[in-house]
Amino acid sequence: MMIDWDVPIEMDDGIVLRADIYRPEKAGKYPVLISYGPYGKGLAFYDAHFKVVWDSLTEAYPEVASHSSNKYMAWELPDPERWTREGYICVRVDSRGSGRSPGVLDMFSPRQAQDFHDCIEWVGAQDWCTGDVGISGVSYYASTQWQVAALQPPSLKAMFAFEGASDFYRELARHGGILTTFWDNLLAQVENLQHGMGKRGLRSKVTGDLVSGPETLSPEELHANYRNIYKEFIERETEDEYYTARNPDWSKVTVPFVSATNIGGQALHQRGNIEAFANAASEEKYLEIHGGEHWTHFFTDYGFEMQKAFFDCYLKGDKEAWKNHPRVYLQVRKPDDTLFQRDEQEWPLARTDWTKFYIDAENMRLSTTPPTGEATVSYEGFGDGVTFLSDPFEETTEITGPSVAKVTVSSETEDADLFLVLRLFGPDMKECNFIGAADAATPLTHGWLRASHRKLDEEKSLPWRPFHSHDEIQKLTPGDPVDLDVEVWPTAIEVPKGYRIALSIQGKDYSSPAVKLMPKGVMPRISNNGVGFLTHQSGRDRPPEVFGKTVTLHTGHDGENAPHVMLPVIPAK
């Protein structure tokens, strides 16, 4: 292939971004796959802090490294050697303020979305481009796809968003209003690649150039050119314009796309992909739900072949390549962590039998019939909480889709954080855990809510997915019960006869009772808390004098509307 390094792309305010362009050796016009992000276009996947992931990924999935020299592989991006062979051009742009592109680094900002729009249009006008541009990438490179699609660049014809958030507040900053400390970890990686690190930074293993640009700026200059989003998250507990300005206008997202998500991606990106599929105005949109680890199937043959078929259709006009592809390509788990695939046409599934499992604090049970009497049970706010267990299932039952829990709580203080965990137990009462996007020991799913954030947006709420406005804080009166609707992120599991489900309600992150290691070579085990590094342990956000005191659950009142978790039971076809 032919490579053009550091190609300048001037923005409307005079800032010049830098792009690397990988083209097929044969001259001609080709469709383009573009990316725009902060991870340094010159940093190889197998280099520096990405190396441990590359080594584990290629050990577990040798096919990933078998199609090219891997010399030009980059973190969470398409392999240009493989794609240029298929008649595509790959363009990688260092986002403003990162890598070799100067300016202020302000992640996910409207300014960066506009830059991405302008880069797409610049690419579409080049004499080596057919005018058809697509986007493909993982995580950050997926999340920004929704933002730029809402700006409707004319050259953008298709997107493949692999595990990317779409709601800046609810998925990236605060789960149910509770701050996630994820960005405290990730930003160190981004800051090391800020433009201006210069000689203090890394060098490209391919070109020998400084990954973060030729300039070496002073610490003061670097600080002035950097907007710390984690600091903003800490200081902004409610959803304000800072967050909403980073969310897409779904009515303007009309481009064809595939939204690919991990069924074990609770707290990471799973909700974002599903909400994007549900809300975007695109008439040609597809949802793919897989298992495994966060990045794996983007790089395996499974993921590559799916992307190629999609882009061949929408960027090359090969309608046969994507012909009769299901609207929803669903993989459902079994307790042994294997998956089976099934084609569907919508989400949630139209045939769902929404089934209430009532919470019984007197007997610590989940039951499909309401309890006959009222009861309470208390737990310490930072303790292990309480668990309600169902009877053994009398027949194999599939639970696939989103859930909602309706609970009544009171607190010793003015607030309480609720961490809900849906769990699966075998006949031997051992818990079944699964390989998830970011953790080796994920339960079925999670839900979170800060009690003072209980206010609902009635227009956006659905029977199976409450939507909290997060625009005001409604403190509790100590000792007085309040009703809460808790969004529980989707799952997909086949529950065999004799197995039980359980709902745990606690005031801290889940912890698996049995430490489960990732299979050798898959990826480094981060923890056994179900969410990996996406925990909620900020002492500033969760002071113990407020969130560490006694919380009480009240059950059995209000008949058929008594506290319960409503689960998506799927009748057999």
Question: Quick one: angle between helices 140-149 and 110-124, nearest 10?
Answer: 80
- Domains, the chain, in order of start with CATH, read 2-162+178-236+295-325 (3.40.50.1820), 353-570 (2.60.120.260)
| Measured distance CA(278)–CA(52) in Å, rounded | 35
Residue 514 pLDDT: 59
If the chain, 573 residues long, is cut into consecutive pieces of 10 residues, what is the mean pLDDT of each piece? 98 98 97 97 88 88 95 95 98 98 97 98 98 97 98 98 96 96 85 95 94 95 96 96 97 98 92 97 98 91 97 97 96 96 97 98 96 95 95 98 98 98 96 88 95 98 97 98 98 98 96 57 55 86 96 92 97 84
pLDDT of residue 524: 45
- Report angle CA 269, 513, 434 to the nearest 5 degrees: 40
Alpha helices in 206-358 (DSSP H): 219-224, 229-235, 241-244, 270-279, 296-299, 301-316
Q: Return the half-sphere exposure (C-beta side, CA atoms, 13 A cut-off) of residue 150.
A: 18
Rounded Cα gap, residues 388 and 401, in angstroms: 21
The encoded tokens of residue 470 equal: 């997060």
Rounded Cα–Cα distance for residues 339 and 493 (Å)? 9
DSSP string, 554-569: EES-SGGGSSEEEEEE
Distance (Å, rounded) from C-alpha 41 to C-alpha 17?
Answer: 12
Neighbour tally for 67: CB within 10 Å: 14
| Alpha-carbon distances, residue 207 vs 4, 20, 72, 75, 211 (angstroms) | 11, 11, 10, 17, 9
Angle at 52 between CA 47 and CA 53, to 5 degrees: 95
Tell me the CA distances in angstroms from 247 to 170, 349, 411, 530, one per residue in order.
11, 26, 33, 26
Residue 515 confidence (pLDDT): 52
Q: How far apart are CA 354 and CA 568, in angstroms?
A: 5
Residues 6+ apart with CB under 8 A from 221: 196
Closest to 163 in 3D by CA, of 363, 55, 298: 298
- Is pTM beyond 0.85? Reply is yes
Compute the distance between CA of residue 382 and CA of residue 368 in angstroms, rounded to an integer.
29
Q: Are 260 and 290 in contact (CB under 8 A)?
A: yes
Contact by Cβ (8 Å): 16, 102: yes
DSSP for 354-389, written as a single string: EEEEEEETTTTEEESS--SS-EEEEEETTS--EEEE
